[in-house]
């Protein structure tokens, strides 16, 4: 897989960032390594650290060359989104692929496991669509394999949710509601609100192999609605819960609300 690194002479800035990343200096409010990478960039950028955009980019490149996954991740997201640099999917792919290649067997509950898992997800996304500029053809089988590694070995909630969706699509992994519910359940119990909504829908309606469980289904839908408020997923989740409530009895709605209220604190840290 492609690796894109640019040399720089800004040794002092680069060394400071490399050491900070190597020592895992994570701001108190950062919950994941991906958050820490962004916080580190924000801290060094502009007035916060007196470092120019060019110096920050150079420092990140030096840290990435030194093998720091957080720096590679930050560079990948910058090039993917065109933040501070010209948008370049090929370079973004290179950094995410480098993380996945070099850390595929990293500790699944390690400090940077979220970055590694999400890098597998991102590389899988690139293989799904193909990336001609980087010589990457569309390869659904490889895309699935990368996603499954993130979902199984790393237990990444977003990857597990995506696998659940693949089992609802005949053109992906084939329609298998039981497998879909299993993967949604794994992600839902980690606080992933779209997975909670999809699990709630399956349980509320019932499908082949899954008996309808309207109270538990509504419980998950209620949790999803609460947790996804203000996100891009809020609209379709609201549609699901409105549809379910139009069918459920007042007693079922009341029981579901009580259950959702009782277990909501379990997800407060997610």
What tens digit of pLDDT does each residue of 54-86 get? 888 888 889 998 889 999 999 999 999 998 899
Q: Which of 164, 72, 66, 186 is nearest to 118 (CA)?
A: 72
The model scores a pTM over 0.85: no
The neighbour count for residue 145, using CB atoms within 10 Å, is 13
Cross-strand bridge partners of residue 131:
136
Q: Which of 6, 20, 32 is nearest to 85 (CA)?
A: 6
Torsion angle of alpha carbons 70, 71, 74, 80, nearest 10°?
-120
Distances in Å between the Cα of 261 and the Cα atoms of 66, 116, 223, 241, 256 are 47, 34, 8, 16, 9
Task: Give, rounded to a whole angstrom, the gap between the first and last alpha carbons of the chain.
Answer: 33
DSSP states along 71-85:
HHHHHHHHHHHTSSS
- The C-alpha atoms of residue 110 and residue 116 are separated, in whole angstroms, by 10
What confidence tens digit (pLDDT) does each residue in 172-185 have? 898 999 999 999 99
Compute the radius of gyration of the chain from its Cα atoms: 21
pLDDT < 70 positions in the chain: 1-52, 269-270
């Amino acid at each position: 897989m492609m690796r894109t690194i640019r040399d720089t002479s800004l040794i002092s800035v680069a060394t400071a960032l490399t050491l900070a990343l190597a020592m895992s200096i994570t701001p108190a409010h950062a919950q994941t390594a991906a958050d820490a990478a962004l916080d580190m960039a924000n801290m060094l950028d502009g007035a916060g650290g007196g470092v120019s955009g060019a110096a920050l980019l150079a420092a990140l490149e030096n840290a990435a060359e030194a093998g720091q996954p957080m720096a590679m991740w930050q560079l990948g997201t910058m090039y993917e989104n065109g933040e501070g640099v010209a948008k370049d999917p090929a370079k973004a792919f290179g950094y995410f692929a480098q993380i996945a290649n070099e850390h595929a067997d990293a500790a699944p509950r390690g400090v940077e496991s979220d970055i590694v898992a999400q890098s597998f997800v991102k590389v899988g996304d690139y293989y799904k669509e193909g990336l001609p500029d980087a010589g990457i053809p569309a390869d659904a089988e490889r895309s699935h394999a990368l996603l499954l590694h993130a979902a199984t070995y790393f237990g990444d909630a977003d990857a597990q949710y995506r696998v659940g969706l693949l089992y609802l699509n005949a053109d992906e992994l084939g329609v298998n509601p039981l497998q879909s519910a299993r993967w949604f359940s794994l992600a839902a119990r980690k606080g992933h609100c779209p997975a909670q909504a999809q699990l709630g829908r399956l349980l509320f309606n019932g499908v082949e192999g899954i008996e309808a469980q309207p109270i538990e289904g509504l419980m998950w839908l209620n949790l999803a609605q609460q947790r996804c408020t203000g996100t891009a997923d809020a609209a379709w989740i609201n549609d699901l819960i409105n549809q379910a409530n139009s069918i459920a009895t007042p007693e079922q709605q009341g029981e579901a609300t009580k259950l959702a209220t009782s277990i909501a604190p379990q997800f407060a840290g997610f």
